Structure 1
Amino acid sequence: MVTNTSPVRLTARLDDEPSRWLWLVKWLLLVPHLIVLFFLWVAFPVVTFVALVAILFTGRYPRPLFDFNLGVMRWTWRVWCYGYGALATDRYPPFSLQEEPDYPATLDVTYPEHLSRGLVLVKWWLLAIPHYLVIAFFTGGGGYAQWQWGDRWVGFDGGLVALLSVFAGVALLFTGRYPRGIFDLVIGMNRWVLRVAAYAALMTDEYPPFRLGLGGPDAATHAEPEPEKPETRPAGWSPARTAGVVVGVLLLLAGVGAAGSGGGLLWLDSHRDSSGYVTTPTELYADDGYALRFDAEDLAPVDRDWPWIGDILGDVRIEVSTSDNRPVFAGIARTADVASYLDGVPHRRYHDYRNYQHMAVAGSMPRVRPPDMPADMDIWVDSASGTGTMTLDWTPRPGDWSLVVMNSDAQQDVRADLAFAATAPALPPVAIVALGTGVVLLLGGAVLIALAARPRRHP
């Protein structure tokens, strides 16, 4: 008879004679594991979402997906116990999603034969919120300690688990002994965290208890095991199957990005104005200097040396308007000529068509001077001046080009509303190619995951 039905069982054993100094370099030894775990945890939420959909329709967690997520959690727990989540063992963790019963850190979750279809929609976010607030203090984000070092304040936000593990490491370094009280407390907090993780990953309907469960052995491990039923069980996760799921998830993510980009471009193409231009929102630009400078290489995501740049952008239209009666000048010229004209002139260069804060003022200027009258310069290939709304129509060509907006009388404090537009004839085919590529990647990722997660059965 089972005396404890907790579906999540976590154990850890403390080494009898741990190394005094090895914990100082474990951060370096863990790098290979962290690289692999990064990709596994990219796949983890996607696999969980697929499981959520399956539970909604069938009430069952697909066993291959359950085994994969459990394997990721097992691998993570072994690495965390070896590293700065406990520092409980000096035995290097295996690269495996399988159960490793002889390793000092083990994790197991009982496979549920049936899961609630209603709970699956709320337990991972709404019902788990109280636990999230608690475990934030355990793993980081909930606690912050700082102390003064000279004239500076130094902070630590690694969570109680990592902080206590480091304390245990310092004690180990000087005394050769790992404080048993710290070990029991750290393992209890880790047990709480992983119970919540299994609940949030939809692997169980049993609400996690609000208790630490101090010590290495888990109370659930003392339960009398139920007699095993003869059944066909899926084979373990091989490296090839694991790689298949990870690559499939990466293809799905890339497909979502490509399909989303293609759909966004199609939406943008459908919102052309009556003249066939794709227009950016009108934005106010202002500076207390003499000029506003916009370089084409900062505005358009195309290579300025492409001979077919005009075929990509098409015709460009720039609308410049003023809100007062002060005349404004706007002109387009080669960037080299603009740089020479504004050399030593206080002005502002924008790195985007929108008025973001990451604007760059022209670099260090050994001399400061007012500019010449812009209308007197012969560098402009197209220009306009006056009040109200002015339009510059320009066909892009290879080379470096810039737009300059300034007061017609070459005085300081320039203000103008600008809107950039282009016919962008290449927009529809680019959108269709991106959307098609996204669909292919989505299908490829789904097929790869299905093949990798297909249960291989043996009698």
Structure 2
Amino acid sequence: MTTATTSYPVHVHARLEPGLSRWLWLVKWFLAIPHYLVLAFLWLGFVLFSVVAFFAILFTGRYPRALFDFNVGVLRWTWRVAYYTYGALATDRYPPFSLGGEPDYPATLDIAYPEHLSRGLVLVKWWLLAIPHYLIVGVFVGGGSYVAYQTGETIYNSGGGLVGLMALFAGIALLFTGRYPQGLFDFVLGMDRWALRVAAYAGLMTDSYPPFRFDSGGDEAGTTTIEQSPPPPAPPAQGWSAGRVTAVVIGALLLITGGAVGGTGGFGLWADQTQRDSSGLLSTRSESFHSNGYAIEFGTLELRWTDADWVLADNWLGEVRLKADNGVFIGIGRTDDVMRYLSGVEHDEVSMTGDRVTYWHRDGGAPADPAAQTFWAASGTGQVSWRAEQGSWTAVVLNTDRSRVVDAGVAAQAEVPALRPASIGLMIGGGLMFLLGVVLVAVAVAGAQRRSNGTTTSVT
């Protein structure tokens, strides 16, 4: 069906297909998994290109056409999947794997390409000016079917929000009556259309503020039906072949991964240069630990790097120190030996996840004199130094007089001589990955731009 579009630059059209299956909607979440997987990667490219477009608009007042075509394609693809699944449930036609307009599909999205965009608005429209619409769209889609991708506010979720609820009602109606209520369809499309307009505005694709208007139904207000037959096929997507799209996705992954790897290396190098104490050791902050028993056991440290005695591997952690206040006894030994020593001893086993400390209390009696034990790899009062070796190791803190209730603030220090070369290696590797990502994206965009300039200038 061909229609004359409204004046607003974001055009959302859909038609409710007759003869919808009574039960297919129950499994569409499963059938659409391939699309979800592809879209998860495509949205990496969308975010990357939106960032690039932000600076391009800020400095030139223009949204690069190739980037615009790609991002519109991602929105179209997402809208078609949402229309098939729980953003509408209004078609049983499987969505095409395409960034193009696909005018014969029952759900279409067109966004007019802006020749010029405000440099000032780009600084505020996607977060400040769009806040009222975000509140409304949040009610419409909640954690739901597709606009979570588009606004960048949340991650995809398969349900929630008023759209998801109304689509569920439509599915129930289909199940029992075989009909999709027209009024329900009009209402769902009004919410979808509102959300898509906000998505385009937040995606920097237009300066026209989304109207606070509920345009319900498959056709927007003011459109006129010209003919009932499907329109002629749209021209080829502007340069975005499968190879170029794949290059963008891989490039975005390399940019993100390379940035993370290089950033980790940079942080490690910063810590190596600035966070060592006067003795050249890196330190953790002191943590307070308490046990109502006779000892505190600090879990198991597994050190496995190589079967051979490689100097670099055996020396990567270097000297390790544990410091404790209150003059408590500290012992480090192989886990099997420590477990035998603590067998039958009342103590607390400690594990740490981030800032969270978890205790497991073990019942028993008093321990043997820790200072008299010969299995300790390193032991001392208040402080102990140990050179890391392969194996399973456990640290224990006890009162020197073997009394119950142990209170101690414990801090760990380590030499970590491998930190500097490892950090430099991460920075180099991350930089190479990042550079390769830039090259892949740049080549794909340049090719798409040349193709766009050589074909059509319309967005369909």
TM bucket, shorter chain: 0.7 to 0.9
Deviations, residues 278-297 of structure 1 (Å, cap 9, x unaligned):
11112222222322222452
Shift of 1:274: 1.1
Matched, 1:399 2:391: yes
Deviations, residues 203-244 of structure 1 (Å, cap 9, x unaligned):
0011111122100012365499xxxxxxxx983311111111
Q: C-alpha separation between the residues in 1 aligned to 2:261 and 2:242?
A: 28
Contact 1:306 1:398 in 2 (8 A): no
Shift of 1:304: 8.3
2:153 equivalent in structure 1: none
Instruction: Find the residue that maps to 1:94 and give its secondary structure.
Output: coil
Instruction: Find the residue that maps to 1:456 and give its secondary structure.
Output: helix
1:435 equivalent in structure 2: 427
Contact 2:330 2:383 in 1 (8 A): no
Q: C-alpha separation between the residues in 2 aligned to 1:168 and 1:108?
A: 26
1:343 equivalent in structure 2: 343
1:165 equivalent in structure 2: 167
Q: C-alpha separation between the residues in 1 aligned to 2:267 and 2:450?
A: 41
Select which of 361, 365, 371 maps to 1:369: 365
1:410 equivalent in structure 2: 402
The amino acid across from 1:350 in the alignment is V
Deviations, residues 362-385 of structure 1 (Å, cap 9, x unaligned):
6xx6x7333223223222222123
Shift of 1:320: 1.4
Label 1:5 to 1:346 Cα distance change in 2 as closer, same or farther (>3 A): farther
Instruction: Find the residue that maps to 2:439 and give its secondary structure.
Output: helix
- Percent of pairs identical after alignment? 52
Matched, 1:280 2:284: yes
Give unmatched runs, 5+ long, in structure 1.
143-155, 225-232
TM-score, normalising length from structure 1? 0.87
2:8 equivalent in structure 1: 6
Contact 1:168 1:179 in 2 (8 A): yes
Q: C-alpha separation between the residues in 2 aligned to 1:344 and 1:44?
A: 60
Contact 1:280 1:420 in 2 (8 A): yes
Instruction: Find the residue that maps to 2:316 and give its secondary structure.
Output: helix
Select which of 242, 248, 253 maps to 1:250: 253
TM-score, normalising length from structure 2? 0.87
The amino acid across from 2:249 in the alignment is V
The amino acid across from 2:292 in the alignment is D
Alignment of 1:31-430 (within 5 A): 31-141=33-143, 158-219=160-221, 221-222=223-224, 235-270=238-273, 271-295=275-299, 297=301, 303=305, 307-308=309-310, 309-322=313-326, 327-352=327-352, 356-357=356-357, 359=358, 361=360, 368-385=364-381, 390-430=382-422
Q: C-alpha separation between the residues in 1 aligned to 2:70 and 2:18?
A: 32
Q: C-alpha separation between the residues in 2 aligned to 1:3 and 1:28?
A: 34
Deviations, residues 307-334 of structure 1 (Å, cap 9, x unaligned):
4444101111221112xxxx52111111
Label 1:210 to 1:353 Cα distance change in 2 as closer, same or farther (>3 A): closer
Give unmatched runs, 5+ long, in structure 2.
145-157, 227-235, 456-460
RMSD across aligned positions (CA): 2.4
Question: How many residues are paired up?
Answer: 424
Instruction: Find the residue that maps to 1:184 and give its secondary structure.
Output: helix
Instruction: Find the residue that maps to 2:86 and give its secondary structure.
Output: coil
Contact 1:140 1:160 in 2 (8 A): yes
Q: C-alpha separation between the residues in 2 aligned to 1:258 and 1:402?
A: 31
The amino acid across from 1:275 in the alignment is S
Label 1:403 to 1:427 Cα distance change in 2 as closer, same or farther (>3 A): same
Instruction: Find the residue that maps to 1:392 and give its secondary structure.
Output: strand
Q: C-alpha separation between the residues in 1 aligned to 2:162 and 2:349?
A: 47
The amino acid across from 2:376 in the alignment is W
2:152 equivalent in structure 1: none
Deviations, residues 326-363 of structure 1 (Å, cap 9, x unaligned):
x5211111111111111233433333486523x3526x
Greater alpha carbon shift after TM alignment, 112-121 vs 393-402: 393-402
Deviations, residues 232-264 of structure 1 (Å, cap 9, x unaligned):
x98331111111111100000001101110111
Label 1:129 to 1:289 Cα distance change in 2 as closer, same or farther (>3 A): farther
Q: C-alpha separation between the residues in 2 aligned to 1:380 and 1:398?
A: 15
Q: C-alpha separation between the residues in 1 aligned to 2:397 and 2:93?
A: 67
Contact 1:316 1:423 in 2 (8 A): yes
Contact 1:283 1:355 in 2 (8 A): no
Instruction: Find the residue that maps to 1:331 and give its secondary structure.
Output: strand
Q: C-alpha separation between the residues in 1 aligned to 2:56 and 2:296?
A: 56
Q: C-alpha separation between the residues in 2 aligned to 1:112 and 1:187?
A: 25
Contact 1:304 1:400 in 2 (8 A): no
Shift of 1:305: 6.2
Instruction: Find the residue that maps to 1:312 and give its secondary structure.
Output: coil
Q: C-alpha separation between the residues in 2 aligned to 1:383 and 1:267?
A: 32
Instruction: Find the residue that maps to 1:436 and give its secondary structure.
Output: helix
Greater alpha carbon shift after TM alignment, 339-348 vs 327-336: 339-348
Q: C-alpha separation between the residues in 2 aligned to 1:353 and 1:37?
A: 33
Deviations, residues 85-135 of structure 1 (Å, cap 9, x unaligned):
100001111000111000000001111001111111111111111111111
Q: C-alpha separation between the residues in 1 aligned to 2:207 and 2:282?
A: 51
The amino acid across from 1:342 in the alignment is L
Instruction: Find the residue that maps to 2:391 and give its secondary structure.
Output: coil
Q: C-alpha separation between the residues in 2 aligned to 1:176 and 1:236?
A: 42
The amino acid across from 1:197 in the alignment is A
The amino acid across from 1:13 in the alignment is R
Label 1:180 to 1:403 Cα distance change in 2 as closer, same or farther (>3 A): same
Q: C-alpha separation between the residues in 1 aligned to 2:389 and 2:379?
A: 17
Label 1:273 to 1:96 Cα distance change in 2 as closer, same or farther (>3 A): same
The amino acid across from 2:50 in the alignment is T
Contact 1:75 1:97 in 2 (8 A): yes
2:149 equivalent in structure 1: none
